[in-house]
Structure formats: C-alpha cells, structure tokens
C-alpha cells in the first residue's frame, strides 16, 4: 500500500514573503519585550525612589494594564486573523471581572 502524499513546493516569492513576515513578527515581539522590560524598570524605580503610595499605585496599575494588552496582542497572537471568538470571551471575562470588583467596592464603601 502506498500513501498518496502531495508535496507542496513553495515558490521563491512565497518563501521570501513568509521569511519577511516572520522577520517582521519577530522584530515586533522583541520590541514589545523591550518596552515591557522598560515599564518594569519604571515600576521598580518609582517604588525604590520612595514616591508617595498615591502616585505609585496608579502608575503601577497603568503599566500593568498596558503590559497585559501588549502580551495579548503580541505574545498571545490576538492581533492575527480568526481570533475573534477568543478575543470576545477574553474581553467579556474582563468586563465581568471589572463589574464584580466595582460591585464589591461599592458595597464596601456604601455599606
């Protein structure tokens, strides 16, 4: 018995396109990683410098949110095609978590 396996040979144009696309994707990931390292250094510097806790907490939370968004889009590949359902459930879960936290903060403050 022989198995009929079709072999698809890429043309030079397709090969060069894929190579260029992968190079561009890698450059984006390395740049994003460098930005996230920089944000982490900013967070450590604000804590080590002894700034007020009322300044440190919002800065760290803002940097954390930006890092989560960067990780989702560059390292979890949410910017690629056919990730709409996963992105919907992710954002819906984040929305529910926000409502949950907001509800309990409201109960604690007004209760």
Q: Per-residue pLDDT averaged across 9-33, rounded?
A: 89
Q: How far apart are CA 40 and CA 60, in angstroms?
A: 9
pLDDT value at residue 12 = 86
Asked whether residue 37 carries a pLDDT value surpassing 90, the answer given is: yes
The structural domains of the chain, with segments of one domain joined by +, span: 17-80, 82-111
Residue with tokens 């509800």: 103
> Which pair of structure tokens corresponds to residue 37?
């390292």
CB 66 within 8 A of CB 39: yes
pLDDT value at residue 2 = 60
pLDDT tens digits for range 67-110 = 988 888 887 777 777 778 888 888 899 899 999 999 999 999 88
pLDDT value at residue 60 = 94
pLDDT tens digits for range 50-59 = 899 899 999 9
């Amino acid at each position: 018995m022989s198995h009929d396996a079709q072999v698809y040979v890429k043309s030079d144009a397709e090969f060069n396109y894929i190579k260029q696309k992968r190079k561009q994707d890698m450059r984006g990931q390395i740049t994003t990683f460098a930005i996230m390292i920089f944000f982490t250094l900013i967070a450590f510097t604000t804590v080590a410098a002894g700034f007020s806790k009322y300044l440190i907490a919002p800065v760290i939370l803002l940097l954390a949110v930006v890092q989560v968004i960067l990780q989702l889009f560059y390292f979890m590949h949410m910017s690629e095609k056919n990730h709409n359902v996963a992105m919907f459930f992710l954002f819906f879960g984040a929305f529910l978590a926000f409502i949950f936290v907001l509800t309990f903060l409201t109960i604690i403050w007004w209760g």
